[in-house]
Each structure stands twice: as structure tokens, then as C-alpha cells.
Chain A
Amino acid sequence: MSTTSTLNAASSADRGPPAWTRWLDLGDRALAVVLLAPAAILLALIIVYPVLRLGYTSFFSLSLTSGLPAEFVGLENYSLMLEDPVFWETTWNTVLITLITVPGALLVGLALALLANLPFGVQWPVRLSLLIPWALPLSFAGLIFAWFFHSEYGVVNDVLNRLGFEGIIWFNSPNWAFAAICLTIIWKTSSFMALIILAGLQTIPRSLYEAADVDGAGRVRQFFEITLPLLKPSIVVALIFRTITALQTFDIPYMMTGGGPGTSTATLAMYIHQNTVSFLDLGYGSALAVVMFALSMCVTAVYLRAIRTKE
């Protein structure tokens, strides 16, 4: 680094930069502080302070509709929560959506990636078919699939009818509504999985397969002994990201069913939103959010550990 600083000194000696920029010619440490400051300030304002405030508010009874000032109630919000059947129902729905759609998206994504890795003459239509579902807003996907699953004019029931089955009234039954939501989420998220896995597939050297061919290993065995193990790092990262976003599921059920029938398809994020924005019960909403925060921090911890062992 000493060469850089001599160069710096030399340059300011002969025809140095305009004086007003001189203050930026700081030492490495001071410069680092200046450069990292904007990011740090934003993170402090939008993440760190809100997290602290979230924990704090969860110990208060604070409802904007009552007009009463905030009152410290200790763990009351949490004990209310434990007795609240809707909390348990929405949490269970969230966990179930995660358990169904994450492996679902992984399997579909893996299949899509293997198909997309075929030696196509023209690449762009394939690439585009994976990018469009990714770029489509979740809320749009929810609306589009609500129309897909429409009981009378939906294309899904039309196809079922053509195949000789009865149409299903998807959004009147909790189970069918839940299935429709999970299918939509899997469709929407599998493309991103596929893109990540496809990038992993393309880094696997062909010579490995050629060697396996020489050794007489079959295709299926090659897939399980070469392809899958080498894909593991990219799959792990994609899985963890997907798990964290699955825990936050909001847009798709909100648009498709609004949580109905009843609260049978509502997620924890929807319940937080309802308590906060509709009921303006900030104390209770905060306690709910703390639970979701804890859930996703567990997943993040697993993630950081996975990355460390990878290195």
C-alpha cells in the first residue's frame, strides 16, 4: 500500500486535484468510514432502530383506535398471543406453506433447470421463460392465478372438464384454496430456483461425465453421483433464500383468497398486516412480528453456518 500513498503524495504535489475534492483524499480508514457511512445510516434507520423499537413496542398496549396512550403491559401481548387461535392458525399455515412450497419449488426448479440445460439451438426463448415468472410481481401472479382457478370461467377447471373431470370450486373449501395458493407459489418461485441451479449446472465440467462414461456409470447414477453433489452449494443457498421468503408469504394469498374462507388460508404476515394496518393495534402486531422475526433468524443462522462450512 505504500506505493499508492507515495503516488498520492506525488500527484498532489505537482498538479493536484481541485482543492474542494482534497478532503476526500483521506487515509484508508477514514475513507472507509466515509464510504460505508451512507449504507450504515440507511441500515440503522430502516433496520436496526426499527428492530429495537419492535421489541420495545411488543411490551406495550398500544392501539391507535382506542386513543389511549401506550401502556407498559410486560408480556401480556405474548400471553394473549398464546391463547389466540388465529395466531396459531396463521402460524401453522405459514409453516405449512413453507414446508410444501420450498421442496415443491426445488423439485420443479430442478426439473426446469435440467430441461433448460439441454443443448438448444436458440437460447433466448428458454431464458426468457425462466425470467418472466421471476420478474412478474407476486401480487400480479396472485391475481392471475385467482383467475386461472376461477370456478366458472377459469382455465384450470376448463382443462379438468375437457379431461373428463368435474370442475372444482377452489376458493370455497379451505383445502382446495390452500392447494391453489401452494401451486401458485410453486409456479412463481420455481423459475428463480431453476436459474440458480442452471448456473450451477453450467459450471460442472463435461470431462467428469466423460470419465464416468468410460467407467461405465449409467446416466441415472451420473445424475446422483456427479450432478447432485456438485449442485449442492447452489441448491443450499437457493433453498435458504426461498425458505426465508416463504415465511413472509403475503401477496399471493392476500390477492387470491384474502385469507378465506374464514382465516383458513391466512398467513402470519397477513395477520400482522391486519392487526397493524386495519386494527391499528401496534402492540399486538409487534408481538406477532417478533415471532416471525425469531423464525426467520433461525433460518438465517443456518444459512450463515452453511456458508462458513462451504468456505
Chain B
Amino acid sequence: MSAVANPGFSSLLSGRPLRFIAGGALIINGMFPALWILFTSLKTEAELTAKPITWIPHAPTLSNYMQAFSDQPLHLFLFNSFMVALLSTCLTLLVSVLAAYALARLNLRYRGLILSLIIAVSTFPLVTLLVPLFEIMRTLNLLNTWIALVLPYTVLSLPVCTLMLVSFFEGIPRDLENAAMIDGCTRMGALFKVVVPLCAPGVFTAGILAFVNAWDEFLLALSFNSNPSLRTLPVGIQLYQGEFAFPWPVISAALVVGIVPVAVLIVIFQERVVSGLTAGGIKG
């Protein structure tokens, strides 16, 4: 008990076998649902309805994936989700870079007030605006367009991204910008040629958060787009359910296809995502 290397509760579990169990529990908790869906997507209908149920598929098949693409325009759902997420991410980044620069660098009189407002907006329940947004999009003839989703998704991520970028920008020494301006850059030139490249990791993290937010959103996508060819993945995935039948292997295959893009993003950039999430979470 005299070891001090493992603080707090950790030392209760510092033995190797216990650490192994702890790691196993974490991994099962995090991965099992996704893994289960993967297993289901590889099973045949016959295996699925066999009792007792099997865990690991006996005769893995890819036919559910074929069917997922042929029963519904899954490629269109993917494309719509991707485009809506990409467009809103770009717009979020552009708008939040500009706003964050103003908040980080210009000596604004109402800086504290603006920051409080941004934090208040970050907690805003977008659900409550379903009716007015629906009316606005209807009046502007934007229902059944990507824009009807891109604009609200941008606002959804704007507060967190702005707050994150403010803290990143504050970490860049002013001298670097001043040097660029002596070399003939305008202030905006210095922002985009010096500050943004130096903050690239931060900007990138903000971008991933915005992308995941948009990729995940369901309620507005469900409400504003009734045209089947404009549906995003979360909305499209429901269409596999027949009136009485639930083709679970096909639904699972479609889910796996929908999970893979974001999972790849997360696997590659996991450290940045964690740092961004916690910075955004703690600061706002």
C-alpha cells in the first residue's frame, strides 16, 4: 500500500489482472453494440431466426449489404448526409473563425457579454424551433433542400466551435501577426495566412465536431425533408422497416455502412477529437 505511483481509486485496481478486466469492461461497453450489429449484418435470415440465437455468424454472408443498397437508395442517403455535413462544416468553420478572431484579438467592449450569449446559445434546444423553422423554410421554399438543414446545423455547432477557436487563437503570439502585417499583409491576410495555419489542429478539431454533429442530427432532417431522394442517413434508415416486417440483417448492414465513415474519422483523429471535446465541454 505504500506505492504512490497510482493515485486514488486507481491503485485499488493497479494489479495487472484487474487492469485487464477494467480494460475489457471498457472495450465491451464501447464496442459491443457496434460489434453486435456487424455480426447481425453478416447473418442469413435463417440463422437469425434460429433458436437459441447464435452470437458469431456461422455462415457469414454479404448479401444483406447488397440488399441494403438495392432495397433503398442507400448511396443517396450517404451522399446527402455527407454533403449536408460537409457544407455545414465549411460554413461553421468560416463563420466561427471570423467571430473567434474578433473575440480573441480585438479589444471589444462587450466581449464578456458576447461570450455569455454564445454560451447561452450553445445550450439552445433546437427542437423548440421546429415550428418557426418549419414555417421559415416553407416560406423561403427551402423545404426539401440541403440548405434547410445546412443552416440550422451550422448554428448547432457554431457556439462550441467559436469558443474552441477563441482559446486556440489566444495561444498564438501577436508578434507573428504583426510581423506578417509589416510584410504587407492586411489584418485579414494575417488571419488566414498566419493565424489559421498555426491553429490548423484546432480548426480541424472544430471541423470534426461540426461534421459529427451534422452527421448525427435526426429530428430536423426528419421534419424538413419529405422527398425520398433528399433524405439523410438517420432518416433513410427507417425506411427499411416494412409495415409488419423488420428485416434486421438488412437494417444492420445499412447501419454498419452508416457507422463506418464516422468511425474511420474517429479512429484516425481520436486524440484531437478528445482534446477538442474536452476543451469545448469545459469552456462552454
Contact = CB atoms under 8 A, between A and B. Distances in A.
A143 interface: yes
A139 B237 contact: yes
Nearest to A14: B184
Contacts of B129: 46-47, 50-51, 54, 289
A125 B25 contact: no
Interface string A226-257: 11000001100110110010011011001100
A285 B223 CA distance: 13
B212 interface: yes
B234 A269 contact: no
B234 A139 contact: yes
A46 B237 contact: no
Contact of B119 (A128, A141, A222, A304): A304
B266 A219 contact: no
Contact of B248 (A47, A147, A272): A147
A282 B131 contact: yes
Interface string B125-149: 1111111111110000000000000
Most chain B beta carbons < 10 A, residue from A22, A114, A135, A240:
A135
Interface stretch (B60-68, B93-101, B194-202): B93-101
A46 B218 contact: no
A165 interface: no
Q: How large is the interface on B (under 10, 10 to 19, 20 to 34, 35 or more residues)?
A: 35 or more
Contacts of A50: 129, 132-133, 136
B229 interface: no
Contacts, number: 331
A47 B155 contact: yes
A134 B135 CA distance: 32
B9 interface: yes
Interface in A1-39: 1, 3-4, 7-8, 10-11, 14-17, 21-22, 24-25, 28-29, 31-32, 35-36, 38-39
B6 to A, nearest CB: 6
Most chain A beta carbons < 10 A, residue from B94, B119, B131, B155:
B131
Contact of A39 (B33, B158, B222): B158
Contacts of B212: 135
Interface in B149-188: 151-152, 154-155, 158, 162, 178, 181-188
B281 A118 contact: no
Contact of A53 (B27, B123, B135, B188): B135
Interface string A113-152: 0111111100011111111111111111101110110101
Nearest to A247: B125
A209 B13 CA distance: 16
A160 interface: no
Contacts of B251: 143, 147
A124 B270 contact: yes
A105 to B, nearest CB: 13
A269 B125 CA distance: 10
A28 to B, nearest CB: 5
A119 B222 CA distance: 44
Contacts of A127: 270-271, 274
Given A127-B271, A248-B126, 5 more contacts: A11-B185, A132-B266, A196-B281, A208-B7, A213-B2
- The 7 closest A-B CB pairs, nearest first, are A129-B30, A50-B132, A199-B278, A209-B7, A35-B102, A137-B216, A139-B234
21 contacts: A1-B107, A3-B178, A11-B181, A17-B184, A24-B188, A25-B187, A35-B98, A36-B102, A39-B99, A47-B155, A49-B132, A115-B26, A131-B30, A131-B266, A137-B258, A147-B248, A234-B282, A292-B125, A292-B127, A293-B125, A296-B123
